[in-house]
A and B are shown apart, each in its own frame.
Chain A
Amino acid sequence: MLTLTVDGKEIQAKKGTTLLKACLDNDIYIPNLCYIDGIEETAASCRLCFVEIEGEEKPVTSCTVPVKASLKVKTDTPAVRRLQKTALRLLLSVHHVDCKNCPANKKCALQDMAKFLKVGLKPGHLQHCLKEPEIDTSHPCLDYYTNRCVLCGKCIQVCLTHNGQPEITFARRGFNTVVSFFGTAKNEKDSCDECIRCVDICPVGALVLKSSP
């Protein structure tokens, strides 16, 4: 075990874990979307889990830092909060805020972070922009809500981990990137009916089973 200091508090962590996991395990919350407990390689794509480490010039993503003894970490500096707030505002600027009709309501990672970071769900100065089509219904048992998705990639990662060959993938580029199904292969219905890990792991209710509202 290693000892490091986070926000003035000494915490213990196992060698080889990431700073983000060490903090979360010790009840120090750091906003995050794309991190999956138990999967070694982090996507580092949501850009929310910033912290400041003594000796580093700029905030760094805690999911990419392996724990080291005597690390001195701060999770709530102005620079960290500024980046986190901007990232969240950016995500909300392309999010269809319709909480009462969303299955993720009250267990939504965006709601949690907005509350934690004191960011309104409305995008403010940023132009609100939604993508078309709003729903991809091409899969036999799953529906994908384009404008709920935060593109954290967790669904793809769990599908890859459990099924070897993922049934879902990223498609298109840049701003138009979406999660997409590989056509409608025959065995998809059976295999997906049994495994809905992607639905379970989605932090924002973007992937839902067809029968649910």
Chain B
Amino acid sequence: MNPVNNTSSDQIFSAIQEEAAKRRKANEEAPGCKIHIGMATCGIASGALETKAAFEDALSQRGIEARIHTVGCIGHCYAEPYVIIDHPESGFPPIFYPDVTAGKAKMLTKLFLEEGDPRLEHILGATEENEMIPSVMEFPRFNLEKRVVMEKCGRIDPEDIYEYIAEGGYTALVNCLRRTPAEIIEEIQNSGLRGRGGAGFSTGRKWELARQTQQKDKFVICNADEGDPGAYMDRTLLESNPHQIIEGMIICAYATGARQALVYVRAEYPLAVKIVHTAIEQAKSLGLLGKGILGTAFDLEIEIFEGSGAFVCGEETALIRSIEGYRGMPRHRPPYPVEKGLWEKPTIINNVKTLASVPPIIENGAAWYREIGTENSPGTAIFSVVGNVTHPGLVEIPMGVSLRTLIFDICGGIPNKKAFKAVQIGGPSGGCLPEKFLDTPIDFDSLTAAGAMMGSGGMVVMDEDNCLVDVSRYFLDFTQKESCGKCTFCRIGSYHLLDTLERLTKGEGRETDLDQLQQLSEDIKNGSLCGLGKTAPNPVLTSLRYFKEDYIAHAEEKRCPGLTCRALIAFYIDLDKCARGCDACVGVCPTEAIFTTSNRKKGVDQSLCVKCGECVVACPPEYDAVEKVSPPGLAPIIERPPEPLAKKIVS
């Protein structure tokens, strides 16, 4: 398609921009203070709806004029529900408050909004540089990040297109409409952008292949079928800034010559579905989507397709099958979807984060993007860091930052004075890396070389109390359930892997198990049909490689070094530490396994104990008398005193 050489699209868009600026100004100049509340799924799950209701109640009760501004997620999960209060009259800068419960919301309304006391003991910091309160930018969790894709997340209302436009949104699209598709693809190719879905294929090349095909009907699909346990980057982007993704899709369609596009999003993300739906409608109403986009001859319709929760449908050929109404089963590639995709037409499938990277690249240029990250993996990576870290959440960092910086500097390290044991990267398809890899730079190639993979960005940090055999079992349990059942290796092979791992965690390991795990894993990797099967054994392969001692302990000594596998541990009470007459553990034991010894201390009846660990929690820290050991035989045997004696003591 030829570029549109008239200036009408510019004129139409300037009018929209003016309207956006006007609305923004009106909001800024409105009297009273502003309360920004993070209302993505994560915020709502932590109680943001109650917080918002509490603010509304308290404001109307006290007759305070204030604007509650609902925004998306800022990525700081540890702080949810959070609010930012901008109260210019108080003389303070805008302040970031973490953990704002309904009660705290009422308290802040009274003390800060009404009386002007910001209650400094509750703040995280100011969101602007100032002389009174330390800025949040002084914390590594904020200042070591580099936000490209998530730049506007948590700052704008995702349900108001004008807020996105006022922040510079859709200018990349207008810029693109002035250029030829070939020029746009060249820019994307020069930027070195690689697919953020995990495989890291060059986005520019994919687009170029799609552009060159002779077929007329083409499709663009945004793959938002995020299914890794513990990963929620795509959901956050969809819920916090849907327009950046839509803008990326429009640019992609323009550059490749597609006239139809789909957002394939999981039905389990109802809020994301709703927000994207609203965003599409708003974009249409402003002429940014639909027929004759911004007065040009370029048409594009975007529809939403709700996936039904099969993990395998994140695989692009299975995704296509499921849209066509069939069972979501992958097929052999090639042909790749770019040649033969949805309804046999060329189809460009990009991940949410890939598409969301496009507008900033167009806006700032390929050279700017290349400066971020590494030579072969330019740009940023978004991780959802969860597990044993102090500040979990979504982190966007330049590629090439080391795992150590990410885990220890940005996310605050391991809590409770525990030691680092492993980090699992890339979800069920990824691998577990030990401490010696902490200085590995995070980029596509280095992680693959280490045996893990970039994946879509899930990262689980584990401390010394984790058992790697159990972690592998967990992931295999997931992939085994999510296998589509089509090919032999994945369907039956992963079942046997899980079966072996389950036996190991129960102390029923056999001598041949470790070899069998290794060989079967290699065969599944080499023999499976699709990406799910090919990567399913990765958690086993990497943990066998780096944590073999864990496996040997389970198989040979029936011992769980992480003290996690219930069948291989026992609890006992250290009689030297146990306090005479204290009954804290007895009260919480659900199976009455704890009894009183002849000298009024406590013992555990191993035959009744279900190893729930409640007694550990209940034992007062000054005694700290409950011990956990593995193998269970290490627990000293304390005889339960005969019934009459016990009765005599009580009486």
Q: Closest A-chain residue to B519, C-beta based?
A: A86
**With A82-B523, A127-B496: A151-B491 Cβ-Cβ less than 8 Å:** yes
Q: Which one of A57-65, A68-76, A188-196 is at the interface?
A: A57-65
Interface of B is mostly: helix
Alpha-carbon gap, A174 to B512, bound state (A): 26
**Set B485, B492, B499, B526: member contacting A173, Cβ < 8 A:** B485
Q: Closest B-chain residue to A92, C-beta based?
A: B492
Assess whether A86 is in contact with B327, with CB atoms less than 8 Å apart: no
Assess whether A173 is in contact with B523, with CB atoms less than 8 Å apart: no
489-531 of chain B: CB within 8 A of chain A:
489, 491-496, 499, 512, 516, 519-520, 523, 526-529
B188 at the interface (CB under 8 A from A): no
Q: Which one of A9-17, A20-28, A44-52, A114-122 is at the interface?
A: A44-52
Assess whether A176 is in contact with B332, with CB atoms less than 8 Å apart: no
Alpha-carbon gap, A125 to B492, bound state (A): 14
Assess whether A125 is in contact with B485, with CB atoms less than 8 Å apart: no
Alpha-carbon gap, A129 to B520, bound state (A): 17
Chain B residues positioned under 8 Å from A177 (CB to CB): 484-486, 491
Assess whether A45 is in contact with B486, with CB atoms less than 8 Å apart: yes
**Set A47, A58, A90, A175: member contacting B485, Cβ < 8 A:** A175
**With A59-B526, A83-B523: A43-B482 Cβ-Cβ less than 8 Å:** no
Assess whether A129 is in contact with B495, with CB atoms less than 8 Å apart: yes
A170 at the interface (CB under 8 A from B): yes
Alpha-carbon gap, A66 to B512, bound state (A): 40
**Set A59, A83, A127, A173: member contacting B482, Cβ < 8 A:** A173
Nearest-Cβ distance from residue A164 to partner chain B, whole angstroms: 14
**With A61-B332, A169-B327: A91-B526 Cβ-Cβ less than 8 Å:** no
Alpha-carbon gap, A175 to B481, bound state (A): 7
Assess whether B487 is in contact with A46, with CB atoms less than 8 Å apart: yes
**Set A86, A94, A170: member contacting B527, Cβ < 8 A:** A86
Q: Closest B-chain residue to A174, C-beta based?
A: B483
470-485 of chain B: CB within 8 A of chain A:
480-485
Assess whether A47 is in contact with B484, with CB atoms less than 8 Å apart: no
Alpha-carbon gap, A64 to B330, bound state (A): 14
Chain A residues positioned under 8 Å from B483 (CB to CB): 173-175
B548 at the interface (CB under 8 A from A): no
Assess whether B523 is in contact with A86, with CB atoms less than 8 Å apart: yes
Assess whether A45 is in contact with B327, with CB atoms less than 8 Å apart: no
Assess whether A83 is in contact with B526, with CB atoms less than 8 Å apart: yes
Assess whether B527 is in contact with A83, with CB atoms less than 8 Å apart: yes
Chain A residues positioned under 8 Å from B512 (CB to CB): 125
Nearest-Cβ distance from residue A125 to partner chain B, whole angstroms: 6
Interface of A is mostly: loop
Assess whether B492 is in contact with A50, with CB atoms less than 8 Å apart: no
Chain B residues positioned under 8 Å from A94 (CB to CB): 492
Assess whether A127 is in contact with B332, with CB atoms less than 8 Å apart: no
Chain B residues positioned under 8 Å from A58 (CB to CB): 526
**With A42-B332, A44-B331: A126-B488 Cβ-Cβ less than 8 Å:** no
Nearest-Cβ distance from residue A149 to partner chain B, whole angstroms: 11
Assess whether B484 is in contact with A174, with CB atoms less than 8 Å apart: yes
**With A125-B516, A127-B496, A127-B499: A173-B310 Cβ-Cβ less than 8 Å:** yes
A172 at the interface (CB under 8 A from B): yes
Q: Closest B-chain residue to A178, C-beta based?
A: B485
Q: Mark B349-376, 1 if CB is under 8 A from A, else 0.
A: 0000000000000000000000000000
Q: Mark B273-316, 1 if CB is under 8 A from A, else 0.
A: 00000000000000000000000000000000000001000000
Q: Closest A-chain residue to B487, C-beta based?
A: A45
Chain A residues positioned under 8 Å from B486 (CB to CB): 43, 45, 151, 153, 170, 177
Alpha-carbon gap, A151 to B485, bound state (A): 8
Nearest-Cβ distance from residue A93 to partner chain B, whole angstroms: 6
Alpha-carbon gap, A13 to B487, bound state (A): 28
**With A44-B332, A173-B310: A87-B488 Cβ-Cβ less than 8 Å:** yes
Q: Mark B516-557, 1 if CB is under 8 A from A, else 0.
A: 100110010011110000000000000000000000000000
**Set B327, B499, B520: member contacting A170, Cβ < 8 A:** B327
Nearest-Cβ distance from residue A34 to partner chain B, whole angstroms: 9
Nearest-Cβ distance from residue A95 to partner chain B, whole angstroms: 10
Q: Closest B-chain residue to A61, C-beta based?
A: B332
Alpha-carbon gap, A113 to B387, bound state (A): 47
Q: Mark A152-169, 1 if CB is under 8 A from B, else 0.
A: 010000000000000001
Chain B residues positioned under 8 Å from A64 (CB to CB): 332
Nearest-Cβ distance from residue A57 to partner chain B, whole angstroms: 10
The 10 A-B pairs at the shortest CB distance, nearest first, are namely A177-B485, A174-B483, A90-B492, A44-B332, A86-B523, A175-B495, A64-B332, A45-B486, A45-B487, A47-B488
15 extra interface residue pairs, beta carbon distance < 8 Å, beyond A58-B526, A91-B492, A151-B491: A41-B331, A43-B486, A44-B332, A47-B487, A47-B489, A48-B488, A86-B527, A93-B496, A125-B516, A129-B499, A153-B486, A173-B483, A175-B483, A175-B494, A175-B495
A-B contact list, 9 entries, CB within 8 Å: A47-B487, A90-B492, A90-B493, A91-B488, A129-B495, A150-B488, A172-B485, A174-B491, A175-B492
Identify the A interface with B (CB < 8 A): 41-48, 50, 58-59, 61, 64, 79, 82-83, 86-87, 90-91, 93-94, 125-127, 129, 150-151, 153, 169-170, 172-177
